[in-house]
């Protein structure tokens, strides 16, 4: 599980940063890619990255402002032009279905794959035996949502010492035990998975927020997350401006991380007034004074999501 930032600017692109889009690479977990928001130019960013549209399985849109959705019609069309036929699920607030269908219809774009467009107003929006995705409303000028991706706990690894004690050798029986099946020994006794498996591996939690002012929804989504991705459009000296435009400061993002008990925080969605990495350092310092484990997201930055031990 890895985060890959395709755009970290707010509002409009700059020479240094594109507008918002974040990929969650799940190549080991499900051989796929999930995309969060798709600002204008996202497909160009993907062309410059190691990401492949053929791996794209799901798209999650936080809200309908242009810097988060204007790249979506082109990306969907290009995915089809590349010959990808695998189905795609798109989740977003009310209006996302009309936006996609109207854009593709009027432009006569050919999409040779099934699209399942799911409009939601929060709650559990996806779940299978490996992952659950929850959404909650935030506080922005448009209906804005954050997403909490919960990886379910995985079975523990086989314990070589216990296996040896039972006289088990590598082979099909290992696979059965790993899958949660019991196996019968030659003497008629049974070995159950709990007899030879180590403790389960705790699943990871990644929270990715849309644009927002501080609000209860942030805390619900961020609680005990391994990673929180939070907008930091301004520094605290512009807190009144941030509030007026329904955004957050770097300090407010750090305070949310502290309240949520998260393990690491990524700041993103920076105002164009902070032109480059050097100009972003004061935002980082401001946040780190409140929450030490803070990093600046960078375009084309790849960040593994570590599993808690």
What are the sequence ranges of the domains in the chain? 2-154+201-304, 160-196
- Provide the whole-model pTM: 0.90
Give the per-residue pLDDT at 176. 84
The b/e string for 243-271 (b: 16+ C-beta within 10 A; e otherwise) is bebbbbbbbbbbbbbeebebbbbbbbbbb
Mean pLDDT score, 48-68: 97
Mean pLDDT score, 157-165: 84
Residue whose entry in the numeric block shows the structure tokens 């523990």: 156
Known binder of ligand: residue 120? no
Say if residue 162's pLDDT is above 90: no
Mean pLDDT score, 35-59: 97
Give the fold, CATH level 3, of 2-154+201-304.
Answer: Metallo-beta-lactamase; Chain A (3.60.15)
Distance from C-alpha of 62 to C-alpha of 208, rounded to nearest angstrom:
9
Known binder of ligand: residue 211? yes
Say if residue 149's pLDDT is above 70: yes
Give the per-residue pLDDT at 156. 80
Helix (H, G, I), strand (E, B) or coil at 256: helix
Say if residue 201's pLDDT is above 90: no
Known binder of ligand: residue 44? no
Known binder of ligand: residue 63? yes
What are residue 46's DSSP bridge partners? none
Give the per-residue pLDDT at 309. 63
Dihedral of the alpha carbons of 227, 230, 235, 241, in degrees to the nearest 10: -160
Give the per-residue pLDDT at 163. 84
The active-site residue out of 67, 224, 226, 299 is 67
Distance from C-alpha of 161 to C-alpha of 167, rounded to nearest angstrom:
10
Q: What size, in residues, is the chain?
A: 309
Tell me the longest C-alpha to C-alpha distance in the chain.
Answer: 75
How far does Cα 295 stand from its chain's mean position? 16
The b/e string for 209-235 (b: 16+ C-beta within 10 A; e otherwise) is bbbbbbbebbebbbeebbbbbbbbbbb
Structure confidence at residue 159 as a pLDDT band (50, 70, 90):
confident
Distance from C-alpha of 235 to C-alpha of 240, rounded to nearest angstrom:
10
The rounded percent of the chain whose pLDDT value lies above 90 is 82
Give the per-residue pLDDT at 300. 98
Distance from C-alpha of 21 to C-alpha of 268, rounded to nearest angstrom:
10
Cα distances (Å, whole numbers) of residue 248 to 12, 123, 279? 17, 23, 18
φ/ψ of 249, rounded to 5, equals -95, 165
**Which spans in the chain are helix H?**
27-30, 42-47, 66-69, 72-81, 96-106, 160-165, 172-178, 193-196, 216-222, 239-244, 250-260, 277-288
**Per-residue pLDDT tens digits for 229-244:** 999 999 999 999 999 9
Give the per-residue pLDDT at 104. 97
Structure confidence at residue 138 as a pLDDT band (50, 70, 90):
very high
Which residues lie below 8 Å from residue 293, measured CB to CB, with a gap of 6+?
A: 257, 263, 264, 265
Mean pLDDT score, 205-228: 98
**What value does the mean pLDDT of the chain take?**
95
- Of 35-44, 122-131, 196-205, 243-252, the poorest mean pLDDT is in 196-205
- Does 67 qualify as catalytic in the annotation? yes
Known binder of ligand: residue 140? yes
- Of 98-102, 197-201, 254-258, the poorest mean pLDDT is in 197-201
Going by DSSP bridges, is the β-strand pair 131-137/123-127 parallel, antiparallel, or unpaired? Answer: antiparallel
Number of Cβ atoms within 10 Å of the Cβ of 287: 28
CB 241 within 8 A of CB 234: yes
Give the per-residue pLDDT at 193. 83
| Residue 132 parent element (H or E) | strand 131-137
């Amino acid at each position: 599980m890895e985060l890959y930032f395709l755009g970290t600017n707010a509002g409009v692109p700059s020479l240094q940063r594109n507008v918002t889009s974040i990929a969650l690479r799940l190549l080991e977990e499900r051989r796929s890619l999930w995309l969060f928001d798709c600002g204008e130019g996202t497909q160009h960013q993907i062309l410059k990255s190691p990401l492949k549209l053929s791996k794209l399985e799901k798209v999650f849109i936080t809200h309908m402002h242009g810097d988060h959705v204007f790249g979506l019609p082109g990306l969907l069309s290009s995915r089809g032009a590349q010959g990808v036929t695998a189905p795609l699920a798109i989740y977003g607030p009310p209006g996302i279905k009309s936006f996609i269908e109207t854009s593709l219809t009027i432009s006569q774009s050919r999409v040779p794959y099934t699209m399942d467009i799911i409009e939601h107003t929060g709650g559990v929006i996806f779940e299978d035996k490996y992952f659950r995705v929850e959404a909650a409303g935030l506080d922005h000028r448009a209906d804005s949502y954050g997403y909490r991706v919960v990886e379910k706990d995985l079975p523990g690894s086989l314990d070589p010492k216990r296996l040896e004690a039972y006289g088990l050798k590598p082979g099909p029986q290992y696979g059965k035990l790993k899958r949660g099946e019991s196996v019968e020994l030659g003497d008629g006794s049974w070995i159950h998975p709990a007899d030879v498996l180590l403790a389960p591996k705790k699943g990871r939690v990644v929270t990715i927020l849309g644009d927002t002012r501080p609000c209860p929804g942030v805390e619900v989504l961020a609680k005990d997350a391994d990673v929180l991705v939070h907008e930091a459009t301004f520094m605290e000296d512009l807190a009144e401006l941030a509030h007026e435009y329904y955004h957050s400061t770097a300090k407010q993002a750090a305070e949310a991380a502290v309240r949520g008990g998260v393990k690491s925080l990524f700041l993103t969605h920076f105002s164009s007034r902070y032109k480059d990495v050097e100009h972003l350092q004061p935002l980082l310092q401001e946040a780190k004074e409140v929450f030490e484990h803070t990093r600046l997201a960078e375009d084309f930055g790849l960040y593994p999501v570590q599993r808690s031990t």
